[in-house]
Structure 1
Amino acid sequence: MDLLVIGSGAREHTIARALQQSSTVATVYCLPGNPGMQLDGIQTVAIEMTDFVAMIAFVQAKKVAYTIVGPEQPLVAGVVDAFQDAGLAIFGPRKAAAALEGSKTFAKEIMAAAHVPTAAYQAYQTVQAALDALDDVRYPVVIKADGLAAGKGVVIAQNDVSARQTVQAFFEQGVPQLLIEDYLEGEEFSLMALVANNRVYPLPVAQDHKRAFDGDRGPNTGGMGAYCPVPQISDQCVAEAVTTILEPIVATMAERQTPFIGVLYAGLIATQHGVKVIEFNVRFGDPETQVVLPRMTGDWAQVFAQLLKGETPTLQWQLSGITLGVVVASDGYPTQSTTPFVLPTLQQFAKRNSTFSFASVAEQANQLVSAGGRLYTASYSAETLGRASQQVYRDLAQLALPTTFYRQDIGFRMQVK
């Protein structure tokens, strides 16, 4: 069978590569994809993710068995609705359910209805109202843009000056509403789950590194690296999160006639008072996908087919060792874009032991060039974090360019425990 993955980043590269490993799959298309995917023989399709009509026509012409949606933008715009209305199989939430990520206030309302623990908050629609609210907050405080922001719409303000600058900046950027919420202390982790027929199938937890620079310094990014599993998060803690957070959210969505089907990603924090929600996403995380999917020893194409048929998925996980992923980005990310520059050849990447998942890259004169932002993720599995780290960083050192950067300490929170 032929399959389609919607998206163009390292997450979608990882999903497509996982699907391609199935003996039942002939071709995996990625729309629009990126030229780095050629390393794995994935066929890219030059159609924009917003062009639902052209996407549907392509799927019908190629007789694609089913489609997986990677990024949040087409989900929030209603791509699942469009495909299902055309009678096509697609895995992901419909537009009404995708609001769980598309609107932070909607997510907070659902959490309140489901009695799911999260930080206390207030929403503000004007600059002055938000600035006035800062007179009474206790720092640090979390300020969130209400809407999609590619993982960069959250600022942890340590003081009043930073908070007021953030409020001004968000509204100047056209954010219609922002949330000011309490800062939660504890161990953060990412719990993704496959959801179908109101049943939750959790995946192994991962830990993302959001800040740009070593030691969790610098601005928030879309993610600079991750590792899986997370030994300092106990099985009991994960079980608590499933029963007190994921399952109540799925049940509440169903009760509200907006049933959730797809990948439910919970950004969580283990506090002294139990596990609480930082945010929800409605798709696989990036870079978490790059370290979680490779740990499934079964057939991902079969898993999605089972979910779409309403069957219980066959999920088999590698129980030993650890998978580490490090993101390489263009200098200036996430605040500035840089002039495109030539990257190493695909052959040079292929000679390394790490697995490379490409993101913001383009092709010029048969060469890979940067397109700004996060360029690729290097991942590797080993028996220990030290061995995985040693291999990944050895490979990156041989591919490093002065116009790129990456964190040297991915996994440090596991090491200090």
Structure 2
Amino acid sequence: MTAAPTTGPDATTEQAALDADGSDPGWRELFVVPPAEGGPYPQAAYLVGNSLGLQPVATRADILADLDSWGRFGVEGFFDGERPWQSYPQRFAASMAGLIGAGPAETVIMNSLTVNLHLMMASFYRPRGERVRIVVEDNTFPSDSYAVRSQARWHGLDPDDAVVRLRPRPGEHHLRTDDVVDLLRREGPTVALVLLGAVNYHSGQLMDIPAITRATREAGAVSGWDLAHAAGNIPLQLHDWDVDFAVWCMYKYLNSGPGAPGGAFVHERHVDDPAMPRLEGWWGTDAAVRFRMDAIPQPPPTADAWQVSTPSALGLSPMRAALDLFETVGMTTLRERSIRLTGYLERVLDDIAASRPLTVITPRDPQQRGCQLSVRIDQGDAGEVARRLRHEHGVITDFREPDIVRAAPVPLYSTYHDCWRFADALTRLLP
């Protein structure tokens, strides 16, 4: 077998992209790729796995198998058959733990991201005295912003005062780690929670999770991370980095289907803390006594204690094929290909940026980004550009207000030719 190249091609021609796909092919054949709506190619150049990952080919059979179990066993499908549903959350949490650098006891699959964020903040955001503030990025994902503001109001605080929004320096696109650390050193006694996106959804910046987490703990605050754009995109070591909690969704880079249940991480030092408050439900009590319906819950000494209600077997079903792929390929291999692929996309965009009104606002250092590049359209309507990319050229990206087109060459299934098609289409659409 020929060894994979250490970098993508230097040449930015179509033939160079096709040659690179021959030597560094990825695993595209294991996914269902949508047809192109426009352009000369039959398949879409799908560069929007940062919003919804593609369907693994094996997913259909897994869902049908669970439908068959429902038909054959009814409610006993939770306990009978080859794949009892009751064990799904733990089975998938064990696989997920390896992707985020956690132990299975620190990982739980449940709910959706924002629901999990509220459940985590119910435990970890406990404002007292002057320590009431929540630190977020100014351009954090809107749902996170809504959640932290509502938590501040829930505690009787004015969210405009309690929520601190970090902004890049004037003229810059990214937060500097030193600026975050400096704020925590200056104002740490007023900070209760630092909640940042590990990879910012808008700019694609990968934050320095270990350094910011360390500064947060030194300030006496709680460190929480939104991994929506990080899980399955970059290697993570949440346990070793001493993160307090994290939440994520499974439908972006983790390819588990639209609206798939999400996940949460709780560091082991918290899972067996009897003083830790939680919002509780029957699925968060020990499985051995769950059906006794005791008036007093008996939570296990694991992150499962944060579960509230019965998980959706059909919602969890697509995770099997998706997580099996990650276990087979390995996050290290994926990250290496991601750096090559995203580096090539950056080069082809650089080629046209000199003569077209666009700017890549994602950090150029591969260690400060995942696979997403955010392209600012400096003249014209970025939303219209994204629409025409899809309908006229078969290139699927997405638009973020006010002027950003995001493109994410996902290493599992994107190709160098996809990247070339994106750049080629931009040269035709931008004056």
Query: TM-score, normalised on structure 2?
Result: 0.28
The TM-score, its normalising length taken from structure 1, stands at: 0.29
Higher helix share: 2
Which one has the largest radius of gyration? Answer: 2
> Which of structures 1 and 2 has the larger relative contact order (alpha carbons within 8 angstroms, sep 6+)?
2
Identify the structure with the greater strand proportion: 1
